[in-house]
Structure 1
Amino acid sequence: MSLAADPLAASLAQAADDQAWRDTAKAALAEHRARLQQAYAAGEGVERLIARQCALTDAFVVSAWHRCVDAREPMSLLATGGYGRGELYPLSDIDLLVLAEPKIQKKHVAAMSRLFALLWDVGLAASHAVRSVRECVDAAKNDIATLTSLMELRTLAGDDAARTELIAALAPKKLWPPKKYFEAKREEQRARHARYNDTADNLEPNLKEGPGGLRDLHTVTWMGMRLYGVPGLQALVPLGLLGGDECATLEREWRIIAKLRFGLHLIAPRREERLVFDHQKTLAALMGLKDEDDNLAVEQMMQGFFRAAATTLRINDRLLQRFEEQLSGETKIIEVEPGYVLRHGYLAMTDAGRLAGDMATVLHLFSVWTRLDTARGLHSETARALAESLPTFKPYREQSPEVRAQFIAMLSGPKAVITLKRMARLGVLARYLPEFGKVSGRMQYDLFHVYTVDQHTLTVLRFMDGFLAGPVEGFSLPHEVVPRLRKPFLLLVSGLFHDIAKGRGGDHSQLGAEDVRVFADAHELPSADTELLVWLVREHLLMSVTAQRQDISDPDVVTRFATRVADREHLDYLYLLTCADIAGTSPKLWNAWKDRLLADLYTATRYALRRGLEHPLNADDIIADTRNMALAKLLDEGFDEAAVQGVWTTFPEAAFLRYRPEQLVWQTKGILAHAAQSSQVLVRGHDSPGSYEVFVRTHDRDGLFAALVATLDRLGLSVLDARILSSTDGFALDNFQVLASAHTPDPVRIAQTLHGALRDPAQVKPARRAMPRQLRHFRVPVRVDFDAVDAGDRTRLSLVCTDRPGLLADIAQVLRTHRLRVHDARIATFGERVEDFFLLTDENDRAVTDPHSLETLRSALVACVEGEQIHGKSASAR
């Protein structure tokens, strides 16, 4: 203990009054916490740290009790829950139970108030109850959480016989019998896991309540206590319910997670069970971890947690299954095929010892499991044998040609992705494919990648599996592309390898391409398949980068992309891989705009390839085709050709190059329908909820773009893409792709608000909002670049920086202040990283080339994105 208990108890006992006691206790607590932090940083074991925390807390609680209650009173003070178990963390609640008969309770109301006030005043969060044995039983009958907390009791003061009496009164024969308790706690765990999306791989995991966290270990411990009357997990080993190796593994993973939780409590200013970004780097430093090349200290720490949680989940599943099997009493065994049976609905091997060192048998086991739709899962004993055999499995390079052929057959067969997921969860995939094992539990410290690399890979495979099965909601083209795939399993292999080299240093795309070549050669894939896989892994970011960072309405962009793709087969596979990769990065990343963007690039590239790369796309041809298709649609709907041509006469040629025919139809119909109005504002939703397209036609004037962007920001709309054109008769033709937030009004209200902003754009200013907590912990170095485009008629501004609320509106305000016109904008956000592109001219529609003007603009933009106050003239231009 950091402070000897006896000297501390003596000091507390000698305190002249309650205030002196508080002062002594506060000083001791502060010193204790400082020494705990020193011991933690020095690497002291978490068991000793927890024991020191518990012992010191006992000294405070017992001293306060004796100060308030005469030792002769028929009252007992008990520790319950985690405190009763002796597992106490620096900021944990101190769960206390005072056992006394009702008449004694009434007599000591003031004493109890004084006791708990003393503890709270010195910073000990005492969660307490004052009850008789009968009252405890009544409370436990109605609430399983109360019963569970009373299953772990420790007498702190008073007669220990009261604890014995309470334990007897709560016996399973009297309330919450084993089967009922098991079912309730299992359902409680399922509901708890669901709150965390059934995965431990969250960027800010809850160390206590999340899947694979400490609560999962507590749950199986409580079940063992209730079902078998044993004091802890170790006592389940002699009963044959838990293997010695499994018990040792759970104790090892507990130490990892408990050490993280203890450290979190030391550095957090208040009680916190989530390992949030605010504390991750600080905790990694306290643990003594150091940054390495391509492996930050915080990433090392988080990988340790994710791996520990995954292992805890696996053994938790096995234990729950064993408890359920024993409680059911069912012994029915159904033979599936020689050597395999269904036992209590779970697939089991009659001789699981055959698994050791035999990957062929392992793959056959998964094959049987895949074919057996009725199986509830893998039987716990077979799963345990599989886990014990993992160290004996050799990687694919050392396997026989027959085993490697077996693996390719599995990838080519039905339910391949389900099988891969099962192999990954049970640790088999990491043994067969060691590169996958290296990214298991590996997180990337940013807001863009919300999954660990292995979970991202499995999510990508799940999307691919959906594409192969048929139409998937939110994706417009994959179901049309899939039937043309020569070998669909090659798509899965590309997904398996596309990020497999992350964290090794260097370009993960290049390194992954080398890995997949070795894999393909070892599995004797035809050279054409190998080269396709190598190209897909090496170029898996090509389509995403082209679509999101370049103007794909530009024929030159499409031609360059088509040249790198080279043929239809590469395009088909790359398109499907790109869709799955983006959608599998974050649940919030895929949207209707990205779907349309990739579909447009795919369609344009397919046309370019069909036309032949020796005949590059011609802007005049595209403009003519777009006009003809849009006009035919409008005539079919009964519109007058002269009226349509009257509108289009004012449109610049770029409109027919940058917009799709259906967009032109929508815009033209809106203009004709509201021709009497001085401005037209159109808003329509996309197929996916919360995604809108906004078109504004209004008199061109200074400050218009800045006003529109600021208004969209105030409406809770994030701008993804902006097309800024000018008509020949002095009108602005501005088109925005936007995403809604929870506070965005309906389309009618959006249009009305934009109409209001158009009355006096100069008066619309950016809103000021607080920075979200998560964004505060990430900083992207600001980069501002300028270059000439469009034959020197435009200046392209490239801006890379950290995202924050209202950033685009602030940038637009800077451009407005510097009297610059915006002609196009491409807005891309990748987690905390912003990569925005703008096409600019001065107020006379000329490129900005003056070095001094560009340097002044650069300084203003840097100051803007870093949150400094921007001073400038109020005059502005689009």
Structure 2
Amino acid sequence: MTPQPAGPSLDTPADSAGDAQWAADARQSLAHTDARLGKRFEQADNVERLLGLRTRAVDQLIIEAWQRCVPAGAGLALFAVGGYGRGELFPRSDIDLLVLAESDVQQRHEATLARLFALLWDAGLPASHAVRSAAQCVHAAADQTVLTALIEARPLVADATAQHGLARAIAPSLVWPPREYFLAKREELLARHQRFGDTADNLEPDIKDGPGGLRDLNTLGWMALRAFGVSNIDALVGLGHLGLDEAAALKRERQVLARLRFGLHLVAQRPEERLRFDYQKTLAARMGFGDDAESLGVEKMMQGFYRSATVIRRISDRLLQRFEEQFDGEATPQAVGAGFSLRRGYLSADDPMWPHGDIRSIFALFACWARTNDVRGLHSMTARGLAEMLDEIPAYSAVDDSVREQFMALLRGPRAVDTLARMARLGVLGQWIPAFAAVSGRMQFDLFHVYTVDQHTLMVLRNMALFASGRADECFSIAHEVWPRLRKPELLLLAGLFHDIAKGRGGDHSELGAVDAREFCSAHGLSGSDTELVAWLVEQHLRMSITAQKQDITDPEVIHRFAGLVGDRDRLDYLYLLTCADIAGTSPKMWNAWKDRLLADLYFATRRALREGLEHPLPEAERVQEARDNVREQMRLLGHADAVIERQFTAMPDESFVRFRPEQLVWQAASLIEIRKGGTLVKVRRITPESDALEVFVHSPDRDGMFAAIVMTLDRAGYGIHRARVLDGPDDTIFDTFEVTPAGSFADGDAARLEAVLRKALAGNILILRPSRRVMPRQLKHFRFAPRIEFLESSHQGRTVLNLVAPDRPGLLADVAHVLRDQRLRVQDARIATFGERAEDQFQLTDRHDHPLTETSMQALRDALLACLDPDNKPGDPH
């Protein structure tokens, strides 16, 4: 039971004035201790010593408070439990206490205990507490989380009788026998990992609860304590469950994480366990990580965390398996290949001395793993043998050709992507390719790359495995059709493996990575043409994405240039698949139906250009006529008469037949039948049946401010705009097309509802519409930079191109559209692209008379945009 505040106890009269003075003195003493420990932290003092000193200081204050409030012989005992019981008290950690007493004693001293806990809170020691009898402890410990706190109980004020009583109450004979406790904690650990996506490689990882975090180490300690009665993981060495090297590694990495957590509490000034952007830079500086030409200090700090978490996960996987073997015993081995067997589903080397320092034996293991079904993982002793040899594994450049051929056989064999992922997780890939080790755990301090470089690389390879499965996937509409055309799929895997391998070296990572890829392929005996293909893919791996997202791929000149760069269909197939895998592997939110279709459009347009030849591209008039013929045939199939079709064509701009796909034109032409001349048409449809991406078509008499009105309405409805195509039609009309996806929680992807919202907005006075104001997401606040504004001449005569690069935020495009309207400018075309925290948008502009902007109007626009987008302006401030 938890005591409630009550009046003074008869046997311990409350001294309000004295208590207040003691609490003030205690608070000052604790503040002094924390300040002293903070200085010692900055001087790189041992973090275990700092934790011990803080625990001792808090112990002293709590015991003083107890002695002040609780009379001797009261029949009450006090224990520290949980992390405090372990003696692991971080600057803002919880202080968990247990008062042990029989029920009648509890009732007699309710007021005493209420005074005690109030005094602790007043002293700046916000203790969480439970008051239980031994019998109540037995009942509460049926919850394994309560038992976990109790098994680490440390007496603060407790005689031997109380200590023995608590020990008896939570004995395995009464609650949670070792095997059941182990299974429960393992299930809890796996569930916790899943909450974090089963990876520590997140932008804002949780030091305490995330995979490979301190909680994993605590869990191993709890299991060891319950199963073997040892209070220190090091004791498992003597029991044969842990090697000396493994124990040393766990101790080393624990200190890395403990130091990060200690510093994080100091910086956050609260019990924060996530390395949030709010604290990363400050913490890195406080821990002495400085910037240099290749890396930011914060990136170095985070790489250290990710590497520590990886080692902890690697060793804890082995230790969990050994605990399982301890409880369930070894099963009869089942041979699965020369020298290898399955033991309880784990792949094991038959030779206890494996791998004998031989890389060939290691590659043979991975080959056996790839061809064997239903393998739970690597047997703990085999994994330990591999770990002990890890530092001795030679780089690919230091072995003979037969070993390199073994590696290539793995790439050409079954489950090649799974093999590479296993090699990476177990540390083998980084030894074989030292450049991969350099980017392992390397993060980039931005919102675009949500994974570390090595994790991103594995995500890219996983996407390639999805393409190879041959199954149609709604996320990648044509990838499964392109994959079978690849001459040698392993070349694409190599390009994926090397495409980001030079990140963090300074210089262009694509060019540096191409050098690495060329050396690797040559050493592994690839032909000159295959080597050059892989190197070219690495060097150009961003080109297709940039072309699709930043250029007008309906412009024949853009397609002509891109096709000239690609050169042939073979390279196009490889580059297309690499680009899809790369974008989708950057962030779960980065890939969508719009980008899928955008890249597919570029792929098909380039394939056609390559087929027709680059020397004589089709004249625009012929392209328009070809598109008209295609659309006419499709509309006939829908039952439309030729006269109706021709009437619709005359109402549509010629440019639309160049800019849009035939199925879009059919949709637009059929939609126009519904309206009378001079009316306004708003149509919305799903881009694909499975996606939430929508295409919005607006046809209306032209009015100043129409673009801004549509953009602001879409923004207010919660939709993000990916592309805008703004065309002028006959008789002073507009043909505006927008491709959007839900960006806010209030956008449900309902096409009919969005149609209604837009119709209502455009039917009123559009000049009174204003951008909505929303709170900037926390993460974006840490990636502010000065906007860049550039004006260029347009390839379209009579237009001015505005290139805008600015920090992204909710409502950014609506704000820009509002500025353009206020400057009385017309938007003739727009390309919208967002990369993490960066918005990179392009607008083709004219004045109200459809003339290009003058120097005066460009300067006025620049000033207005800077006033709107200045990073120092808070969202919501008047512009």
What TM-score results when the alignment is normalised by the length of structure 2? 0.96
SS in 2 for 1:673: coil
Question: Which residue of structure 2 lines up, in the alignment, with residue 547 of structure 1?
Answer: 548
Q: Distance in 1 between matches of 2:498 and 2:318?
A: 30
1:754 and 2:758 aligned: yes
1:706 and 2:708 aligned: yes
Per-residue CA shift, 1:786-828, capped at 9, x if unaligned? 0111353110100011101100000001111111000111110
Checking the alignment, whether the CA contact within 8 Å between 2:246 and 2:315 is kept in structure 1 is: yes
SS in 2 for 1:48: helix
Give runs of aligned pairs for residues 639-650 of structure 1, distance below 5 A: 639-650=640-651
**Share of identical aligned residues, percent?**
54
Give runs of aligned pairs for residues 47-66 of structure 1, distance below 5 A: 47-66=48-67
Give runs of aligned pairs for residues 315-394 of structure 1, distance below 5 A: 315-394=315-394
Q: CA deviation at 1:572?
A: 0.7
1:461 and 2:461 aligned: yes
Q: Distance in 2 between matches of 1:871 and 1:618?
A: 49
In structure 1, give the amino acid aligned to 2:431: R
Checking the alignment, whether the CA contact within 8 Å between 1:357 and 1:394 is kept in structure 2 is: no
Checking the alignment, whether the CA contact within 8 Å between 2:786 and 2:870 is kept in structure 1 is: no
In structure 1, give the amino acid aligned to 2:315: I
Checking the alignment, whether the CA contact within 8 Å between 2:800 and 2:845 is kept in structure 1 is: yes
1:862 and 2:866 aligned: yes
Question: Which residue of structure 2 lines up, in the alignment, with residue 743 of structure 1?
Answer: 746
In structure 1, give the amino acid aligned to 2:96: D
Give runs of aligned pairs for residues 135-174 of structure 1, distance below 5 A: 135-141=136-142, 143-174=143-174
SS in 1 for 2:376: coil
Checking the alignment, whether the CA contact within 8 Å between 1:817 and 1:873 is kept in structure 2 is: no
Q: Distance in 2 between matches of 1:360 and 1:14?
A: 77
Change (3 A) 1:241 1:136: same
Change (3 A) 1:871 1:726: farther
Question: Which residue of structure 2 lines up, in the alignment, with residue 20 of structure 1?
Answer: 21
1:597 and 2:594 aligned: no
Question: Which residue of structure 1 lines up, in the alignment, with residue 631 of structure 2?
Answer: 630
Q: Distance in 2 between matches of 1:699 and 1:353?
A: 82
When structure 1 is superposed on structure 2, of 767-776 and 856-865 the one drifting more is: 856-865
Question: Which residue of structure 1 lines up, in the alignment, with residue 734 of structure 2?
Answer: 732
SS in 2 for 1:839: strand
Checking the alignment, whether the CA contact within 8 Å between 1:685 and 1:692 is kept in structure 2 is: yes
Checking the alignment, whether the CA contact within 8 Å between 2:773 and 2:876 is kept in structure 1 is: no
Question: Which residue of structure 1 lines up, in the alignment, with residue 7 of structure 2?
Answer: none
Q: CA deviation at 1:869?
A: 9.2
Please list every run of at least 4 consecutive aligned residues from structure 1 whose deviation after the TM superposition is greater than 6 angstroms: 869-874
SS in 2 for 1:17: helix
In structure 2, give the amino acid aligned to 1:130: V
Question: Which residue of structure 1 lines up, in the alignment, with residue 849 of structure 2?
Answer: 844
Checking the alignment, whether the CA contact within 8 Å between 1:559 and 1:617 is kept in structure 2 is: no
SS in 2 for 1:233: coil
Q: CA deviation at 1:331?
A: 3.4
Checking the alignment, whether the CA contact within 8 Å between 2:448 and 2:586 is kept in structure 1 is: yes
When structure 1 is superposed on structure 2, of 639-648 and 372-381 the one drifting more is: 639-648
Checking the alignment, whether the CA contact within 8 Å between 1:348 and 1:382 is kept in structure 2 is: yes
Question: Which residue of structure 1 lines up, in the alignment, with residue 310 of structure 2?
Answer: 310
Q: CA deviation at 1:561?
A: 0.4
Question: Which residue of structure 2 lines up, in the alignment, with residue 524 of structure 1?
Answer: 525
Q: Distance in 2 between matches of 1:853 and 1:793?
A: 15
Q: CA deviation at 1:474?
A: 1.1
Checking the alignment, whether the CA contact within 8 Å between 1:771 and 1:804 is kept in structure 2 is: yes
In structure 1, give the amino acid aligned to 2:720: S
Checking the alignment, whether the CA contact within 8 Å between 2:683 and 2:698 is kept in structure 1 is: yes
Q: Distance in 2 between matches of 1:690 and 1:870?
A: 28
Q: CA deviation at 1:337?
A: 3.0
Give runs of aligned pairs for residues 78-93 of structure 1, distance below 5 A: 78-93=79-94
Question: Which residue of structure 2 lines up, in the alignment, with residue 6 of structure 1?
Answer: none
Question: Which residue of structure 2 lines up, in the alignment, with residue 94 of structure 1?
Answer: 95
Question: Which residue of structure 2 lines up, in the alignment, with residue 269 of structure 1?
Answer: 269
Checking the alignment, whether the CA contact within 8 Å between 1:212 and 1:313 is kept in structure 2 is: yes
Question: Which residue of structure 2 lines up, in the alignment, with residue 182 of structure 1?
Answer: 182
In structure 2, give the amino acid aligned to 1:276: R
Q: Distance in 2 between matches of 1:780 and 1:495?
A: 31
Correspondent of 2:818 among 808, 813, 822: 813
Checking the alignment, whether the CA contact within 8 Å between 2:724 and 2:738 is kept in structure 1 is: yes
Q: Distance in 2 between matches of 1:869 and 1:451?
A: 29
Q: Distance in 1 between matches of 2:58 and 2:264?
A: 19
In structure 1, give the amino acid aligned to 2:87: G
Per-residue CA shift, 1:454-509, capped at 9, x if unaligned? 00000000001111121233111111211211111100000000000000110000
Question: Which residue of structure 1 lines up, in the alignment, with residue 3 of structure 2?
Answer: none
Q: Distance in 1 between matches of 2:847 and 2:293?
A: 44
Per-residue CA shift, 1:813-849, capped at 9, x if unaligned? 111111100011111000001100000000000111x
Q: CA deviation at 1:448?
A: 0.3
Per-residue CA shift, 1:633-685, capped at 9, x if unaligned? 11100012222222221222111111111111111222213448921111111
Give runs of aligned pairs for residues 429-440 of structure 1, distance below 5 A: 429-440=429-440
Checking the alignment, whether the CA contact within 8 Å between 2:678 and 2:701 is kept in structure 1 is: no
1:771 and 2:772 aligned: no
Give runs of aligned pairs for residues 601-680 of structure 1, distance below 5 A: 601-675=602-676, 678-680=679-681
Q: Distance in 2 between matches of 1:771 and 1:873?
A: 15
Question: Which residue of structure 2 lines up, in the alignment, with residue 10 of structure 1?
Answer: none
Correspondent of 2:839 among 834, 854, 860: 834
SS in 1 for 2:290: coil
Change (3 A) 1:322 1:219: same
In structure 1, give the amino acid aligned to 2:305: F
Question: Which residue of structure 2 lines up, in the alignment, with residue 3 of structure 1?
Answer: none
Checking the alignment, whether the CA contact within 8 Å between 1:75 and 1:159 is kept in structure 2 is: no
When structure 1 is superposed on structure 2, of 174-183 and 300-309 the one drifting more is: 174-183
Change (3 A) 1:870 1:37: closer
Question: Which residue of structure 2 lines up, in the alignment, with residue 484 of structure 1?
Answer: 485
Q: Distance in 1 between matches of 2:109 and 2:376?
A: 55
Q: CA deviation at 1:302?
A: 0.4
SS in 2 for 1:698: strand
Change (3 A) 1:358 1:675: farther
Question: Which residue of structure 1 lines up, in the alignment, with residue 589 of structure 2?
Answer: 588
1:497 and 2:502 aligned: no
Q: CA deviation at 1:22?
A: 1.8
Correspondent of 2:803 among 781, 795, 798: 798
Q: CA deviation at 1:15?
A: 10
SS in 1 for 2:141: helix
Q: Distance in 2 between matches of 1:95 and 1:679?
A: 67
Per-residue CA shift, 1:92-128, capped at 9, x if unaligned? 1101000011111111111211111122223322110
Checking the alignment, whether the CA contact within 8 Å between 1:430 and 1:437 is kept in structure 2 is: yes
SS in 2 for 1:127: strand
When structure 1 is superposed on structure 2, of 32-41 and 274-283 the one drifting more is: 32-41
Q: Distance in 2 between matches of 1:179 and 1:446?
A: 44
Question: Which residue of structure 1 lines up, in the alignment, with residue 792 of structure 2?
Answer: 787
Q: CA deviation at 1:720?
A: 0.4
Q: CA-atom RMSD, angstroms? A: 1.8
Change (3 A) 1:191 1:466: same
Change (3 A) 1:411 1:870: closer
Q: Could you tell me which runs of 5 or more consecutive residues in structure 1 were left unpaired when the two chains were aligned.
A: 1-12
Change (3 A) 1:237 1:82: same
Checking the alignment, whether the CA contact within 8 Å between 1:556 and 1:617 is kept in structure 2 is: no
Q: CA deviation at 1:351?
A: 1.9
Change (3 A) 1:246 1:872: closer
In structure 2, give the amino acid aligned to 1:762: L
Q: Distance in 2 between matches of 1:600 and 1:466?
A: 21
In structure 2, give the amino acid aligned to 1:624: Q
Q: Distance in 1 between matches of 2:583 and 2:354?
A: 41
In structure 2, give the amino acid aligned to 1:43: A
Per-residue CA shift, 1:399-434, capped at 9, x if unaligned? 110000111111011100000000000000000010
Give runs of aligned pairs for residues 68-87 of structure 1, distance below 5 A: 68-87=69-88
Per-residue CA shift, 1:541-566, capped at 9, x if unaligned? 11000000000000000000001111
